[in-house]
Amino acid sequence: MNPLLETWLVGARDLRKNVRSAKGLVMFGIALLGAFSSTFRLPKLEEAMADVNKFGPEQVHSFKAQAFGKMYGDDPTGEVLASAPTKLVVLFYIAVWLAPLLVMIIGFDGISSDLQYRSIRYWASRARRPSYYAGKFLSLWVIVGMVTLLMQMIIWAVTIARADAPAGETVLWGLRFWAASLPITGAWCGVATLASSLFRVPMLSLLATCATFFVLFIGGLVIGKGGDIAWARFLYPNNFDGWIIGGNHERMLEGLGVCLAYIVVTTGIGSAVLMQRDV
């Protein structure tokens, strides 16, 4: 059978299983819980914007560019985001930083549960192990993307209903933010799938995923972005949301390249390890 077809069959079956099971209800609950955050007012932000809106459009744009540039540590990115609805920028920033938690909750047992109950043997005679692994990774990535999109759509609806921003502008920027988050969630899904494939017990894979995410956080954010070791920032995928959404094409490609490298390396290692395992 064609490896691509095998990957598709594994991924589609895993996607259907997760959506129809109790995990599907949990994922829907996570989406609602995340979207519920959009119903909260941000008093300080709204007060600051109310003061700024007393001035002309140029002053408002300049204020937003400076604020977002400081938030992302990059002035060109702030200039690009100054044209977006303020609340969507803030919620995008929060959503990206919560992405590892969402991936961990949904994907920690993707492969380990099949190893524990030996249901992987059903696929071992029907698909190549790399195809099985790739299908599991892709299904997790699609599920996380669907949950994130549902969450974003509810946020867009609330934003439009409150007249915080025009409908067309909200949807276009919302889709752009969601698309920018996909490579980052893909990188985290790669790490989570790899951690899940190393253990037969889902609880151990959950602990391994937590530990790995924490190490990447310390290495990439604290030591790399906040310290003197510049290269260490590439360890943490969340460091590149501003690069991907910003207007600098070279930095955008660099951020996308890091996320793609995470996906390729983790999938390659996980597939190689799974090939050697006694299932």
Domain-wise residue ranges, the chain: 3-40+85-276, 42-83
| Residue environment code for 73-109, b if the CB has 16+ CB neighbours within 10 A, otherwise e | ebeebbbbbbebbbbbbebbbebbebbbebbbbbbbb
User: What is the C-alpha to C-alpha distance for residues 196 and 109, in angstroms, rounded to an integer?
Assistant: 6
Question: How many angstroms separate the most distant Cα atoms in the chain?
Answer: 68
**Can you give the pLDDT of all 279 residues of the chain as single tens digits?**
678 888 888 888 888 877 776 666 666 676 666 666 655 555 555 555 555 556 666 777 787 888 888 888 778 888 888 888 888 888 888 888 888 888 988 888 888 888 888 888 777 677 788 889 999 999 999 999 988 888 888 888 888 887 778 888 999 999 999 999 999 999 999 999 999 899 888 899 989 999 999 888 888 777 766 666 777 788 889 888 888 988 778 888 999 999 999 999 999 999 999 888 776
Give this prediction's pTM.
0.87
